[in-house]
Structure 1
Amino acid sequence: MSAPGEVRHDGVGEPDQLERLWTPHRMAYIRGENKPDDASAGQCPFCRIPSAQEPDGLVVRRGELVFAVLNLYPYAPGHLLVCPYRHIADYTETTDAEAAEMADLTRQAMRTLRAVSHAAGFNLGMNQGAIAGAGIAAHLHQHVVPRWPGDQNFMPVIGRTKTLPELLGDTRDLLAAHWQG
């Protein structure tokens, strides 16, 4: 039995006085499952997603050249990825039409997230290449991450956890039903 204020160590991990929130779904991301080993389109999850039946594919909106899909490993509720259908790795490889549609779908995503979840701000960005932090560098994708005052900024830093108040399928259905074109 531990004394009051003493950290008990049962031989599993290192004692650090942090609470644990079990998130087994994150192991697929940590292990790199579904991450293409190379640049071939056949291995790419962003190439496979558009052919999945809804709502399993988590696609929220389909355009002519690009689509918006919920991130399987979101930083915040409603975290979307805007991806071209074409398997390209770098933003400079987009056609003018693809770049324009990516921009338009990003604006639509922001409008939708503001209307549905009252997002007060957004982080938008593309990580170009593995060295820049792209989890799947082989297929271009832009992040649309909604933010709110007092949201979970502190959770990953201090709490060492991420919070998601809604199942991905429920978020997908809500956003798809209320998409702001």
Structure 2
Amino acid sequence: MGAFRVVLTPWRYRYIVSGESRRGCFFCEYIGRPEADRDNLVFFRGRYSIGLLNKYPYMWGHVMVAPYRHVGDLEELDDEELAGLLREAFLVKNAVVAAAGCGDVLVGINVGRAAGAGVESHLHIHIIPRCREIAPDTPQEELDEMLKRYRDELARLWS
């Protein structure tokens, strides 16, 4: 049995302790504002979903894929939406592998608060490469710039 590794993510901790909360759903806000995709770290708009970087990632390179329709569970999607969402999440996973330069990827869906969903009202799929760590003392400005470069690389893979 392998040992667990604790990964320190101060950028996520800063988000948690800040008490930052939003009115409404940021996924729906981002979906409705394609002109702000770069600022919102949206790199992909498919037929069924958008792909965006997590501004407060669990691990470096953490992206999310969310359906256009505001639903809280997979069962609320019709068959076409579900198949399209999963197909686009697979394509995004492939882009993450290429951009991050590794094949080890965690893919997950948290449904409900007890399962760890931070935004429980809008279903989303997490895609997290497990090959690169960022130093805990990385300045926020540098992290923001790294996220933008990564977002641009993911967007380039879609063009």
Q: Same fold (TM over 0.5)?
A: yes
Q: Which residue identity lines up with residue 107 of structure 1 in the other structure?
A: F
1:147 matched to 2:130? The reply is yes
Structure 2 residue ranges without an equivalent (≥5): 1-7
Please report the RMSD computed on the Cα atoms of aligned residues, expressed in angstroms.
2.9
Structure 1 residue ranges without an equivalent (≥5): 1-20, 37-42
CA distance in 1 between partners of 2:78 and 2:10 (Å): 39
Please point out which of 31, 45, 64 is paired with 2:26: 45
Cα 1:162–1:85 shift into 2, 3 Å: farther
CA distance in 2 between partners of 1:90 and 1:179 (Å): 27
Please point out which of 60, 69, 78 is paired with 2:52: 69
1:167 match: secondary structure: helix
CA distance in 1 between partners of 2:14 and 2:59 (Å): 18
2:117 match: secondary structure: coil
Q: Which residue identity lines up with residue 30 of structure 2 in the other structure?
A: I
Once the two structures are TM-superposed, the CA of residue 31 in structure 1 deviates from its matched residue by 3.9
Q: Which residue identity lines up with residue 27 of structure 1 in the other structure?
A: R
1:167 matched to 2:154? The reply is no
Which residue pairs with 2:20 in the alignment? 33
Q: Which protein has greater RCO, CA pairs closer than 8 Å, 6+ apart?
A: 2
Q: Which residue identity lines up with residue 118 of structure 1 in the other structure?
A: G
When structure 1 is superposed on structure 2, of 25-34 and 50-59 the one drifting more is: 25-34
Matches within 5 A, 1:49-60: 49-50=30-31, 51-52=33-34, 53-60=36-43
User: Is the helix fraction higher in 1 or 2?
Assistant: 2
Retained in 2: the 8 A contact 1:109–1:179?
no
CA distance in 2 between partners of 1:66 and 1:97 (Å): 12
CA distance in 1 between partners of 2:59 and 2:145 (Å): 10
1:123 match: secondary structure: strand
Identity of aligned residues (%): 35
Once the two structures are TM-superposed, the CA of residue 132 in structure 1 deviates from its matched residue by 0.9
CA distance in 2 between partners of 1:162 and 1:102 (Å): 36
Cα 1:120–1:178 shift into 2, 3 Å: same
Which residue pairs with 2:88 in the alignment? 105
Cα 1:55–1:63 shift into 2, 3 Å: same
